[in-house]
Amino acid sequence: MPNVSMTVNGKQVSGEVEGRTLLSTFIRETLDLTGTHIGCDTSQCGACVIHVNGQSVKSCSMLALQADGADVTTIEGLAAGDQMHPMQEAFRDCHGLQCGFCTPGMVMSAVDLLQHNPDPTDHEIREWLEGNICRCTGYHNIVKAVKQAAGAMKGQAAAAE
Ligand code: FES
Ligand code: FES
């Protein structure tokens, strides 16, 4: 079987995979990083979103071999030690989750949104997150959380200047 290696959450990892092994399967079953969720088999729900080379990607729609040599971040790699990422804090503060199943993918997608657009409108947030399905329909508070995180991250950026 071919070998794949990549950097995941700052650590070099490698493993044997079949040609058909999905990146989501490699992350969950080989690396045991089960924060990346699988909520569908049609690439529609977005529960599996991670970052590959800084871009949000549905990890169920990519083969592990396609990520060979990539720099991958999963939800487990977002916090800085004990310090939650501002997006995670905002989801907690705004009750942007109910069952939490969609949350890792929502958070990873939302972080990527703010990389592209640091001050999105409600409409832009809803549009960006259209590939992420919340079956608890908590969209209102999810949008609130993304806006709060945008404000917090702008504040952090200004303080660093
Ligand atoms: Fe990847 Fe649903 S598990 S989109
Ligand atoms: Fe339950 Fe979104 S919080 S699916």
What are the domain boundaries of the chain? 3-77, 86-160
**87-124 tens-digit pLDDT:** 999 999 999 999 999 999 999 999 999 999 999 999 99
Q: What is the pLDDT of residue 161?
A: 76
Could you tell me if the CB of 134 is within 6 A of ligand 2?
yes
Q: Which of 34, 157, 140, 141 is nearest to 91 (CA)?
A: 141
The pLDDT value recorded for residue 128 is 98
In CATH, the architecture of 3-77 is: Roll (3.10)
User: How far does residue 36's CA lie from ligand 1's centre (Å)?
Assistant: 10
Distance of CA 93 from the midpoint of ligand 1 (Å): 26
**Strands (E) located in the chain:** 3-8, 11-16, 49-52, 55-58, 71-73
- Residue 9 in 3-state DSSP? coil
Assign domain 86-160 to its CATH superfamily: [2Fe-2S]-binding domain (1.10.150.120)
Mutation probe of ligand 1 site: the residue of 28, 56, 58, 62 with most atoms within 8 A of C-beta: 58
Domains 3-77 and 86-160 share a fold: no
- Where residue 137 falls among pLDDT bands split at 50, 70, 90? confident
Determine the residue of 37, 136, 137 to mutate for testing ligand 2's pocket, defined as the one with the most ligand atoms within 8 A of the Cβ atom.
Answer: 136
| pLDDT tier at 83, thresholds 50, 70, 90 | very high
Model confidence pLDDT, tens digit, residues 37-66: 999 999 999 999 999 999 999 999 999 999
